[in-house]
Amino acid sequence: MRMEQQGSIKDNFIIDCENVTKEFTTERGTLKVADNFSLKVKENEFLVLFGPGQCGKTTLLNLIAGLEPATSGKIIVNNKEVNKPNPERGVVYQTTALFPWLTVKGNVEFGPKVRGISKAERERRTAHYIKLVGLEGFENSYPVKLSGGMQQRVGIARAYCNEPVVMLMDEPFGHLDAQTRYLMQEELVRIWESEKRTAIFVTNNIEEALYLADRIVVLTNCPASVKCEYNITMKRPRDYVDPEFLRLREEITNIVDKTL
């Protein structure tokens, strides 16, 4: 396995972050969270942003989603500059943020419904993505009746139902117990392989990163910038005790900045 500097992947870039800096004004002064961050992502690539806690991973994802404006620099997604949220960029959060008063079906179809998609098309999409995430039979269930893993399946189906070009995932399994987390990693790979999307997945769990990624971008401590990256060529499904998996886990763990 070779470590490559950023920019080694060529052609078919669907995401291009160019020298992005993000600063917040606080009572103590200016807080820089991202510093001259540049990143290119290929179409249908599964990329993991990996780094220590509080290094700026979520802020970078919010910038790409259009939820926060960059202080300087530029972000291009699907040949359009990002300056606000757009259905082309689906987001799955650590907390599922489901509407508790809506059923599984109501949550999944919410985006297309708000956008004025026809009822027939909306129902087709909703049924398809509920089936894709393995929740057939739970269409009329409310979130409070679902397990944590099932709620995240709803969140993934809801994001997919808008049929985005890019999926942005902010530690979506971070609050789950270990067994459910492993199961959801397997399920996410299955879903992604079934319906390919360009994906950026944020995590500070090295095993999760290695299990999911085509490429891992290792970030520095805050303010976040690219420290190095790895192309992951192990075949899926991956084995947590495979010698190459273990070697990479140790190498990347040792290279990550320690949280201050």
Pairing of the two strands 72-77 and 13-26: antiparallel
- Burial classification of residue 137, based on how many CB atoms lie within 10 Å of its CB (0-12 exposed, 13-18 middle, 19 or more buried): exposed
Q: What tens digit of pLDDT does each residue of 152-175 get?
A: 999 999 999 999 999 999 999 998
In this structure, what DSSP letter does residue 257 have?
Answer: P
> Which token pair is 104?
């599984």
d(CA 135, CA 246): 34
Q: Is the predicted pLDDT of residue 3 greater than 60, yes or no?
A: no
Domains and CATH numbers, the chain: 1-81+196-255 (3.40.50.300)
What is the per-residue pLDDT across 20-74, written as a single tens digit (0 to 9) for each?
999 999 888 899 999 999 999 999 999 999 988 888 999 999 999 999 999 999 9
Residue 11 clears pLDDT 80, i.e. is over it: no
Q: How confident is the model at residue 5 (pLDDT cuts 50, 70, 90)?
A: very low
To the question of pTM greater than 0.85 for the whole model, the response is: yes
What pLDDT does residue 53 have?
84
